Amino acid sequence: MYGMLTADRDLARAEIGTVTHFFADSVDGTRREPLPGAVNSVACWGDTATVRDEPARAAVTADGTRATPDAEGHDWGTVCPTDPDYRDKLLERLERVGAVGDVRLTTPGFPGASFCHCERCDREFAASDHEDRDTWRTAVIADFVAAAAERVEGDLLATLYPDPYPGNLRERAGVDPGSLAPFVDGFVVPLCGVGYGTTYWVESLARGFAHELEGLEPELTIQLSADGVDPDRLVGLTQQLEAHADAVVYGTYPADADTVKDVIRRVREGDTPSLTV
């Protein structure tokens, strides 16, 4: 199955491919009306606007580093996943979006291995049955995804950070695909690159995820970028991924629409481009 991911409402309605992922809520804090019939993507705790307005809500490390766009290794702000008011509002939002179409969760998880050590997280971990902090974090995220699944009528997809090395997602983000599998219908892995001058890493990561998710029911969607990518390269890359993924979606700006349409037509027809790598 092939489709696209876009924040452009008109383009999203153009029905390029079989499935369209639409950015309803982005990590910068932008909120858009969800689009009927699309897979509406909702950023979970990635929310730069909230963190900018209320810095105390940001996830924090034991040494006091807050998850803001200025912090090293962070491109956006991240609210602490145990913030109860934020969690309630997020679930309400998911219910509203989930009444319109399928839902994709983006940034579900803690923003790094050293998060979160706010007073509330320390307290909740101490009061929990878990002796290991990673296990506690994994339970926090799985509980949230289970609650989200109850509120979404259609399919629920969860985005995974592109690191399939066994145990790494758990350590990084508190995300354990096996724990989420009972509640989601699919996983989405973004493997975006500028121009894809090399493609071996995309195939390697996709293969890694295919192994990591083996035996789990949810389907695997790989997200690629189309911006400025040579169409032949995109066709060849997509064909390399077909053995590992159930679906491919292309991040698409209006200017790339014709390219993506053409790439999807060519992969469906089994066109073989002559790649000069």
Positions touching Zn ion (CB under 5 A) are 80, 116, 118, 121
- H or E element that contains 229: none
User: Residue 116 Cβ, how far from Zn ion at the closest point, in Å?
Assistant: 3
- Give the nearer residue to Zn ion in terms of CB position, either 80 or 263: 80
User: Residue 58 Cβ, how far from Zn ion at the closest point, in Å?
Assistant: 9
Beta bridge partners of 219: 186
What the block records as the tokens of 61 is 């490390």
Q: Is 173 exposed, middle or buried (0-12, 13-18, 19+ CB in 10 A)?
A: buried
- Whether 273 and 232 have beta carbons less than 8 Å apart is answered as yes
DSSP E strands in the chain: the ranges are 2-6, 19-25, 39-43, 102-106, 156-159, 186-190, 219-225, 247-251
Q: Give, as one character, the DSSP assignment of residue 129.
A: S
- Give the nearer residue to Zn ion in terms of CB position, either 2 or 110: 110
- Whether 148 and 105 have beta carbons less than 8 Å apart is answered as yes
- Whether 7 and 33 have beta carbons less than 8 Å apart is answered as no
- Whether 202 and 225 have beta carbons less than 8 Å apart is answered as no
User: Residue 81 Cβ, how far from Zn ion at the closest point, in Å?
Assistant: 7
Is the bond preceding 118 in cis, omega lying within 30 degrees of 0?
no
- Give the nearer residue to Zn ion in terms of CB position, either 120 or 268: 120
- Give the nearer residue to Zn ion in terms of CB position, either 83 or 256: 83
User: Residue 56 Cβ, how far from Zn ion at the closest point, in Å?
Assistant: 11
- Helices and strands in the chain: count of H runs, count of E runs: 10, 8
- Give the nearer residue to Zn ion in terms of CB position, either 27 or 58: 58
What the block records as the tokens of 10 is 């008109």
User: Residue 84 Cβ, how far from Zn ion at the closest point, in Å?
Assistant: 11
User: Residue 125 Cβ, how far from Zn ion at the closest point, in Å?
Assistant: 9
Helix, strand, or coil (residue 103): strand
User: Residue 121 Cβ, how far from Zn ion at the closest point, in Å?
Assistant: 3
- The total number of residues shown for the chain amounts to 277
- Give the nearer residue to Zn ion in terms of CB position, either 30 or 61: 61
- Give the nearer residue to Zn ion in terms of CB position, either 91 or 192: 91
- Give the nearer residue to Zn ion in terms of CB position, either 51 or 157: 51
Q: Residue 86's CB: how many other CB atoms inside 10 A?
A: 18
User: Residue 197 Cβ, how far from Zn ion at the closest point, in Å?
Assistant: 39
